[in-house]
């Protein structure tokens, strides 16, 4: 049997995620029942209600956060051609596997038996772009050869699209300046206005080039 060279990430809601959803609903139902049958709103009843409510709202919040994020997104990784194709609604871009410089994987950090299978991966590229995939889209995150992913445990690993990853070096910033200097003003403005698709230093590089172009234009 010939091994497939293409890995496709797209929305797939497995039975495990459905069970997580119902477990969260179960905690909330029990919390409401306890509060309704308690003899007044005593401290113990309110404490138990709060604990069960939080225990239920976390898996519910993660379920809908991951589901909403994954709908309409497709990431196709072809290990033979070395291409990464990303599509979100009408947006489409093609990147290179060998331009992935780091991978961060955020996982649910359980407390004893209270544990859920939620995780997402951030792929950082040389050109400053970021792609995110979660486990509603795949059960195994692709890790390029030579890359050691940074595993980060969080009690509530909500998908964070903001660019708060590790600081990049001055040489990385200079490389982005050199890479972006030949882009059109429209392309640079798209990078500048991005809230999630590029690293912070990439957005700063685009702003710097736009600032210099505006200054040069005003001096003409």
- Dist CA 30 CA 144 (whole Å): 45
pLDDT at 180: 83
Of the residues 23, 48, 66, the one at which a domain ends: 66
42: in domain: yes
- Please check whether residue 126 lies inside any domain of the structure: no
Domain membership flag for residue 125: no
Under-50 pLDDT residues of the chain? 1-2, 164-169
> Is 179 contained in some domain?
yes
By CB atoms closer than 10 A (0-12, 13-18, 19+), residue 132 is buried
The count of structural domains within the chain is 2
Distance (Å, whole) CA 74 – CA 95: 13
**Residue 140 falls inside a structural domain:** no
Mean pLDDT computed over every residue of the chain: 86
pLDDT of residue 196: 62
Say if 143 falls within a structural domain: no
- Assess if residue 36 is contained within a domain: yes
pLDDT of residue 123: 93
Say what the pLDDT of residue 143 is: 92
Q: Give the model's pLDDT for residue 141.
A: 94
Boundaries of domain holding 173: 162-220
Residue 1 placed within a domain = no
In this prediction the pTM is 0.73
| Greatest C-alpha distance within the chain | 80
- pLDDT the model gives residue 139: 86
The residue out of 66, 83, 107 marking a domain boundary is: 66
- Cα 38 to Cα 75: distance, rounded to the nearest angstrom: 50
């Amino acid at each position: 049997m010939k091994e497939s060279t293409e890995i496709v990430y797209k929305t797939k809601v497995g039975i495990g995620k459905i069970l997580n959803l119902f477990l969260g609903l179960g905690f909330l139902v029990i919390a409401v029942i306890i509060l309704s049958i308690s003899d007044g709103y005593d401290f113990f009843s309110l404490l138990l209600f709060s604990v069960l409510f939080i225990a239920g709202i976390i898996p519910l919040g993660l379920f809908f956060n991951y589901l909403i994020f994954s709908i309409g997104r497709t990431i196709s990784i072809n290990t033979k051609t070395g291409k990464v194709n990303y599509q979100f609604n009408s947006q489409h871009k093609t990147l290179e596997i060998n331009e992935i410089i780091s991978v961060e994987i955020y996982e649910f950090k359980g407390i004893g038996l209270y544990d859920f299978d939620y995780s997402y991966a951030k792929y950082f590229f040389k050109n400053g772009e970021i792609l995110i995939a979660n486990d509603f889209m795949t059960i195994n995150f692709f890790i390029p050869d030579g890359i050691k992913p940074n595993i980060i445990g969080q009690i509530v690993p909500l998908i964070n699209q903001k660019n708060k990853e590790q600081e990049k070096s001055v040489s990385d910033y200079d490389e982005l300046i050199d890479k972006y200097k030949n882009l059109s003003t429209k392309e640079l403005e798209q990078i500048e206005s991005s809230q999630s698709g590029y690293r912070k230093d990439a957005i700063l590089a685009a702003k710097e080039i736009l600032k210099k172009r505006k200054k040069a234009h005003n001096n003409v």
